[in-house]
Amino acid sequence: MKTSFIQCLALVALICAAAACGCTGTNGPGAQVEDEIAWNLTLTDGTQEKVLSFSEVKALPAWEGYGYAVSTVGIKYGPYNVKGVPLTALFEQIGGFETGDQVGISAPDGYYWVFDDEQVAGKGFVTFDEDLKEKPSPDLTLVLAYEFNGTAIPEEDGGPLRVVVGTAEPGTITEGSAWVKWVDTIEVERS
């Protein structure tokens, strides 16, 4: 009788565990960083073009730091521990980036954002503290991110590749308009 009761409890516990996994979705898309995500990034300057797979982007020297964004109406996104590739490292694939150049970054949803050379160098952005009060800008790095908080960036957060205005230290918020989601094309405009 005692053995049956224990067996019964064990089975119930097993069902609970299985059901809990189903409810919480621990196997979601952001649970691990996939090297094999099917996504191509096109780099071009109008005269040359290079297409990198997601795994080829990840194989470039990585940048790690922090990112924290705010929408036009004050909704905060983050903070994130960010891993990705500095835009400047991507530019090296197509001949670099000179003073006076600009870069247009776009995504399949039609969003398009342009950065000038000052911004590519991490200057000229508005920065906020946690209370959304403006504060002096720390050193900033424009990054093409592929990881937030140690996992692949979920599609709903702009993954697999998203622009981040990154910082070496946490606690700095930047305007989200520059954080282009679902990046698939980076086009350098030569001066």
Measure the CA–CA gap between 186 and 91, rounded to whole angstroms: 9
Site for another protein in 168-187 (CB under 8 A): 175-177
- Cα(85)–Cα(62) distance, integer angstroms: 5
Nearest by Cα to 137 from 158, 121, 149, 148: 121
Q: Binding residues for another protein, how many (CB under 8 A)?
A: 33
Query: Could you tell me if 186 and 162 are in contact, meaning their C-beta atoms sit under 8 angstroms apart?
Result: no
Beta-carbon count within 10 A of 158 CB: 24
Q: Take residue 54 and report the two structure tokens written for it.
A: 């997601």
| Interface with another protein, residue 136, by CB under 8 A | no
Q: Which of 34, 116, 157, 184 binds another protein (CB under 8 A)?
A: 116
Dist CA 117 CA 122 (whole Å): 9
17 vs 168 by CB, closer to another protein: 17
Among 6, 10, 19, 168, binds another protein (CB under 8 A): 19
Backbone angles phi, psi at 8, to 5 degrees: -60, -45
Query: Of these, 36, 61, 75, 169, which contacts another protein (CB under 8 A)?
Result: 75
- The rounded distance, in Å, linking the Cα atoms of 13 and 24 is 16
Residue 177 CB, shortest distance to another protein, in Å, is 5
Choose which of 111, 137, 154, 170 interacts with another protein (CB under 8 A): 111
Q: Is residue 23 near another protein by the rule CB under 8 A?
A: yes
Does position 157 interact with another protein (CB under 8 A)? The reply is no
Interaction between residue 71 and another protein (CB under 8 A): yes
- Applying CB under 8 A, which residues contact another protein? 4, 7-8, 11-12, 15-16, 19, 22-23, 71-75, 102, 104, 109-112, 114-116, 119, 124, 126, 132-134, 175-177
